[in-house]
Amino acid sequence: MDSLRVAVLQMVSGDDLDHNLAQAEALLRQAAAEGAELALLPEYFYLMPVDERARVALAAPVDDHPLLAWVQGLARELGVWILAGTLPLASHEPGKMHNSSLLIDPQGQLASRYDKLHLFGFCTGQEQYDEAATMTPGREVVSHPLPWGVLRIGICYDLRFPELFRLDPAPDFIALPAAFTHTTGLAHWELLLRARAVENLAFVFASAQGGHHPGGRRTFGHSMIIDPWGRILAQVEEGQALAIAGLAAAKPLVIATDATYPPFEMVDSSGKLGGFEVDLAYALCAAMKTECEVINQPWDALLPGLQVRKYDAIMSSMNITDERRQKVDFSQVYYMMQNRFVGRSDKAADFADDPAHFKGKVIAVQEGTPQDNFVTARYGEVAKIKRYVNAQSPMLDLQSGRADYTFGNMVQLKVGFLDKEMGKQFAFVGPQFNGTQDKILGEGVAVALRKHDDKLKARFDAAIESVKADGTFNTLLKKYQLEDLL
């Protein structure tokens, strides 16, 4: 995550619309003057009346709403992202409205709309609230990809429903404009906000009403910005004010690899990760001017781990395929993988690339790879395909005689098998294959990224172009003797 300066605005709105808007504008201008790139207004910033129906009277369609147009004009003028707390939008139910949080970009365009899902009801005898009497609940969970990460939007009472924030895509930020009552806020507000931050490893931005309002209502305030460790970075307790904080990258960029694929990724005798792609990963991070960490993960856990945000990217000789594109996005290609069969050298002359030759033969491959898909599609009906979770096991089966052939990346087979003592009786057999000849073998090797992580993709693309242009890529090819094999 790049640095972000964010402001949460706390108000004590009353029943005078024009006065409330003037106060909101003053806070927004102050936030922009102090360098905020994202500013969040509280729930009901425009009106806190005695009679809740006064808000319903202001409801209008989203494409023709004067209050929305007012916020859009300020966002455009100030050049900041604004979360317009909540505004009353027209509902299909007579006498009701949607209580909606609207995200406006710095060009003044409506970027996202969230209609409050969970409607608050509370009665102590002295206090009584029934949002369902004047509101229609929303139907959808809403996320928006900000330039700094994914924002999940909730409103006030939504805070009590943790499952709202756990759904994919996992949020980097949680926005919670609110008008929490003083009674419930005193007991649970900070506790729940910090819990949502910790359990989602996300920053929480809570902009609240904080004071006494017409009709005797009192709100809790305590607008705050919380980091993924649950630490409060900035806070306003009561009254009208803003809290502002700069959020730096909370952790290094984490890149996962399966270190069973020399010379691309491997573990040396001291336990240190190394190899062409490990070195390339650090070179790309240097080009991006980003601290990073490369970690070792089993092959079959790579994609699931990326999707649940265990790490940020994968660099593990992962070929782009249609099946993988359904799960993740990819950077531009940084090399095209060449593939070939390996079999016993004394039987190389007998090899034929046709189904008749493979009838009854055993082919050992790494499970879930394009090579697995290729041999299964071509020979699966006549040969026995043995699949393994790592790249070394197919070679061991070939050496022991439990397999007739293995099929894979030529570099990995040469360095990890044929050049070693265990591979002395074996050789490449048959032609080379790559994705340009058969799409099932993939479009090329690239960095795998979470879906819609467009900003990180752009950074990796630029870094790949940079290391190729400045000679770093070729230097790594020579270091690992890969010039003729990629």
Report, as residue numbers or ranges, the catalytic residues.
Answer: 43, 116, 156
In terms of Cβ atoms closer than 10 Å to its own Cβ (0-12, 13-18, 19+), residue 345 is middle
Question: 423's torsion region: left (phi>0), alpha (psi -120 to 50) or beta?
Answer: alpha
DSSP 3-state percent helix, strand, coil across the chain (nearest 5): 35, 25, 40
In terms of Cβ atoms closer than 10 Å to its own Cβ (0-12, 13-18, 19+), residue 126 is exposed
Question: 417's torsion region: left (phi>0), alpha (psi -120 to 50) or beta?
Answer: alpha
Cβ atoms of 79 and 107 within 8 Å: the answer is no
In terms of Cβ atoms closer than 10 Å to its own Cβ (0-12, 13-18, 19+), residue 385 is middle
Tell me the backbone φ, ψ of residue 76, rounded to 5 degrees: -65, -45
Q: Could you give the CA distance from residue 452 to residue 302 in angstroms, rounded to a whole number? A: 18
Alpha carbon distances (Å) from 149 to 199, 356, 450: 17, 53, 12
Q: Could you give the CA distance from residue 165 to residue 159 in angstroms, rounded to a whole number? A: 9
Exposed e or buried b for every residue in 347-375, given b needs 16+ CB within 10 A?
Answer: eeeebeeeeeebeeebbbbbbbbbbbbbb
* Element housing 394 (H / E): helix 393-400
Token pair 């055993």 is found at: 362
Beta-bridge mates of residue 10: 241
Q: Could you give the CA distance from residue 459 to residue 454 in angstroms, rounded to a whole number? A: 9
Tell me the backbone φ, ψ of residue 357, rounded to 5 degrees: -65, -35
Structure tokens at 352: 């034929």
Cβ atoms of 130 and 92 within 8 Å: the answer is no
422 CB-near residues (< 8 Å, 6+ apart): 395, 399
Secondary structure (DSSP) of 156-201: GGGGG-THHHHSSSPPSEEE--B--BHHHIIIIIHHHHHHHHHHHT
Structure tokens at 361: 């033969």
Q: Could you give the CA distance from residue 338 to residue 411 in angstroms, rounded to a whole number? A: 8
Q: 231 by DSSP, 3-state: which?
A: coil
